[in-house]
Amino acid sequence: MQPVGDMDRIVVNRARIDHQTHLHLSTSVVPILIYYTRQPKSGEPKDLSQPAGLFPGIVTVSARNFCHIIAAARSLFPRTPDLFRFEILFPNGTTVDTRNIVVERGETLAAFFVLGPIGDVNEVRFVDQPVSRNHSIKMFGYYLNPFPPRLPISELCDGFASHPGDRFFRHDCTPSHISARGSAVFNDQERLVGISYERHGLTKALDVEGIRYELLQIYGGMNEMSILQIVEHIRALGEVRAANLAGPS
């Protein structure tokens, strides 16, 4: 792990959004930066020292000696895996290379533990029931500054949920450049209601039932476990993994 400079931030000012909300969510949703490891065989030359892209990681468990993060699976498993590497950038400036982390994959989500102290992050709080049509929501995500140094810029915008379906819903939060990249979707109480992952017209988001299903596929457990019970199961698993890493006391 190594420290880097502070992240730039920007707020999309809407009636229901304030700066404090923005700062709070930035401690629960962290940017995962994508770097080229070598020059591609075709196309424009790449600057290997600057991130080429990013996507959000959502902190589901935060403990003294580890945290657990979920993210869009397709981003972490590119078709040419040796062409890219990934770094998680935490609010205190610490970076962690995902090549040193075991990433476990579901159908839509990936999940992993970051073992060791990583500073001030806050785990998200989940809603206890799926989002409904016309539900007021906020979307939080990141994009890259187009000019070097290409630091992440966080963005928060609001909208409404629509078209609830089987483990997903659609929403009209904009701008589109962050909406389909795994951005986190919250309600007005700042509880996680979904993760955006696809954009064809209205953005499609995995809802809490979809997240619950994905985590059950990755970590096991009984089908009747609620999302909160699964989070506690993950917390216990993380404690065991962190203790094994530390070794005998």
DSSP H/E element including 243: helix 227-246
Q: In this model, does residue 143 exceed pLDDT 50? A: yes
Q: In this model, does residue 149 exceed pLDDT 80? A: yes
CATH code assigned at 177: 2.40.10.10
Question: Are residues 202 and 223 part of one domain?
Answer: no
Question: Are residues 13 and 80 part of one domain?
Answer: yes
Question: Are residues 139 and 117 part of one domain?
Answer: no
- In angstroms, what CA-CA distances link 234 with 43, 124, 216? 42, 14, 10
- Would you state the pLDDT for residue 14? 47
Q: If you ran DSSP here, which 8-state letter would residue 148 be given?
A: S
Q: What predicted TM-score, i.e. pTM, was given to this entire model? A: 0.89
- List CB contacts of 229: < 8 A, sequence separation 6 or more: 221
Beta strands in 64-129 (DSSP E): 66-72, 84-89, 94-97, 104-105, 109-115, 125-126
Question: Are residues 145 and 96 part of one domain?
Answer: no
Question: Are residues 185 and 88 part of one domain?
Answer: no
Q: Which domain holds residue 31?
A: 2-124
* Strand, helix or coil for residue 24: helix
- In angstroms, what CA-CA distances link 50 with 37, 141, 150? 11, 19, 6
- In angstroms, what CA-CA distances link 148 with 72, 92, 145? 26, 21, 7
81, with CB counted inside 10 A (0-12, 13-18, 19+), is exposed
- Would you state the pLDDT for residue 177? 62
Instruction: Tell me the β-bridge partners of 70.
Output: 58, 111
Question: Are residues 111 and 164 part of one domain?
Answer: no
Task: Answer yes or no: are the C-beta atoms of 185 and 203 closer than 8 Å.
Answer: no
The type of residue at 164 is: P
Number of domains in the chain: 3
Domain boundary among 97, 124, 151: 124
Q: In this model, does residue 3 exceed pLDDT 50? A: no
15-51 pLDDT, tens digit per residue, is 455 678 888 899 999 999 999 999 999 989 999 999 9
Question: Are residues 160 and 117 part of one domain?
Answer: no
Structural tokens at position 13 = 């000012």
Question: Are residues 132 and 175 part of one domain?
Answer: yes
Structural tokens at position 134 = 């016309």
Report the alpha-carbon distance of residue 76 to residue 112 in Å, rounded: 11
- Would you state the pLDDT for residue 202? 75
